Structure 1
Amino acid sequence: MNIIKTCLVVTLLLMLSCNSTKKEASKKEDPKSFPLENVLQNNVEKLSKVANALSYPDSLPRNIKSDKTNWGFVGVTDWCSGFWPGTLWYAYEASKNRQIKQEAERFTAPLKSIAYSPADNHDIGFMMYCSYGNGYRLTGNKEYKQTLLAAADTLATLYNPKVGTILSWPSQKHKFKYNTIIDNMMNLELLFWASKNGGNKQLYNIAKSHAEKTMKHIVRKDSAVYHVGSFDEESGEFLRGYTHQGYAHESMWARGQGWGIYGFSVAYRETGEQAFLTTAEKLADHYIKRLPDDKIPFWDFDDPKIPNAPKDASAAAVAACGMFELSQLIDDDLKKKKYFNAAKNYVEILSSAAYLSENTNEALLLHSTGHYPKNSEIDVPIIYADYYYMEALLRYKKLYEKQANALALK
């Protein structure tokens, strides 16, 4: 009888232990355990406070030096000019606060001239789609739409049909000849959008061709990407690849990998071309495989100084947005879950004390790296990190709500 009692007690204890383990696992897996809404609203409050203190709408935040607490500014022609108004548009989307909307409008307006000026770089997409694009999406402002259509036409003037790509840096042809960079994948969305919203249908063909040539020549066989592809301007022949802002030409530059994941996901969404989806998956899988333990990449995955090398929070934020996008394009449930969970993991780590600025300075995120080989913007807050971080938070929120609604309907 004592043996039977003992067995019953052991069995009961095992059952309780299993139930406890299941509850703990369930708690860890529950997205509600991450205070997503609190993080978003805290960011909104901070962005509102900073915006209210800025007097000149044509001076736009770009970075904060390591010995400073306030943003350093650039003019409207800087490639980063669209990220600050874009970040404010995300803050408005998260809060519906009219005052923040007014601030977003105030900082968006000065960029209008970009759409109507001769194109001198590919960054028109970053400048205009992040600012005017988000503004139009959230307000339906007809003036914003016309400005975006003009911006798309201006960007398209850099397209060379002999090469099949958009020239990224006209000013750097002496160094790289006809050049196309991986970042430019992010600017194709403006062209795809315009082709569907009253613009020239040829814009779609330009964007598709650019993505195809980038996939063929800038995506490497090792599943990493070159930063720059160099081409012969007359024959269209691919000459060689450079990783201009990375450790070495054949190294894996973190932010470039993020641009590729995000850019090819969008290219697949807009065209339905399976090769773009396969490429996005390949780049994402390679990124995931090579991440360090804390899941936030060093500025370049192959820097021999690792672990004593600077991190790049901006790369993590871009990759998170790209993988959220990718997770919604795939039919395979296991892959869908893999990319969604990876993205939400990056967002939650960026929201931790290790990376979130809080009261340290005016930015949202710490520890981004801009151009390490040039000794520029190393381990500092950079505005595009904040932009893609806010985008990732909003994507996380929308996808979580979508999942919750789907479960409620079952």
Structure 2
Amino acid sequence: MTFEEWIACAEALAADHRSLSQANTATCRRALLGVHRLFKIAPTPLLDAYARLPERLLGEAARARTDDVTGGDFAWRLPGNADLRAWALAAGAQARALDAVLFTSATTHLGPVDPEEWRCAESRAYAIPRARTREPADKRDNQRFTRRGILHHRVVPEVLDAGYRVRLVRLDTAAAPAGETVTMGAALFLGLDLRIRREAEDGFIVTGATCEGMDGTVLRQLEAAFADGCFAAMWPELTVAPALLALIQGTLAERALSEDPRTSLQLVVAGSWHVEDEGAMANVAPVLDGYGEVKLRYRKVLPYQDRKIGTEAIGPVLEVPVLVTDDHLVGFGICKDFCDQGVALAFADLDVDLVLVPSMGNPVTMDGHRSTAKRMRTLFGTRAFVVQQAEAERPADEQPGWVLPFPNDPTGLATSALRQVGDWQSYRGTVPRGRD
């Protein structure tokens, strides 16, 4: 889109806003999502001009507009010339004002809320309120619109640019305050062996995953997660068969009923497995809460292709679940969903705080994960936690795998530095979003 075409869109949106007069929740939500879309389609020079706006100047303009919108005046002044900075400031201040008024006018923010209450049917998007503002005020200078444009809400489209429908899932028990240090656990397997069944048309599915003392290994890993005070723990792709999943769930349920005073796990990604799901074979990752209950089932989107064994025989998936807690939005992927650099991935326009990815592969696979994680970190401030089992055909002494431990800079370390030699390790870091 050219700048002239964008100006025409901005003028049309401003005309629509001039017709508004009631600063109620529905009106503010629709207006906010309109400005968000305006920035989403903006040409790069306009977005760059916005990033160079001083936070002090943007904040002052936004506060003035907030007072106007609160009083029912939605009309924002349009620059009389083609000055990129002036247009970025005008649209940016309107976005901040609508964001602030919507947050204070809405009757529901946290606790048990139906995600449909955050939806605007006309915009086909959700404006999800957040208790903590994104990016502390002293760190907003030189940040792009995706990092500081809207402070009190997260905008998630109903359908992502890559064509996947988003499904929001509430989880009210998870609590890892944004901006504070959290601990995540990575569980791998030594000497893993996979059993593979060939399917028609050069396809395959995994029917078994074993290693010596597998049940005991998992119980020891869970105990380590409790001892280390982990917020979340994750096993890799195609390593948790139904019997092992039942062991994990049962252990979590028993522990929840015990008098153990240690910090409880809040999220568990129990690897993944090939199961029949909705009438087709799927690679499914169960996401559990601290009680062992399944909160959602993430189905792998992109099948793995191997020159020797063929293509993973899983059906097409067009839905991406997002977990909404009081403090975070959490996305998920399985291996190729997060590492394939040759297609439009679902995560390209998914604004979440944390993405959890069980995986299996080699160093090249982890290179792809790091690249996607870097893009999400740059755009939205997202942190990525990837637990990748080394390919099963590797000798036992070359297993178990690699871990991307939600770093500030996903490409700051070489892939070789991400090797995890043992079958368990916990990692400490921060999941972003600070409070003013």
TM-score by length of 1: 0.31
Query: More strand per residue: 1 or 2?
Result: 2
Query: More helix per residue: 1 or 2?
Result: 1
TM-score by length of 2: 0.30
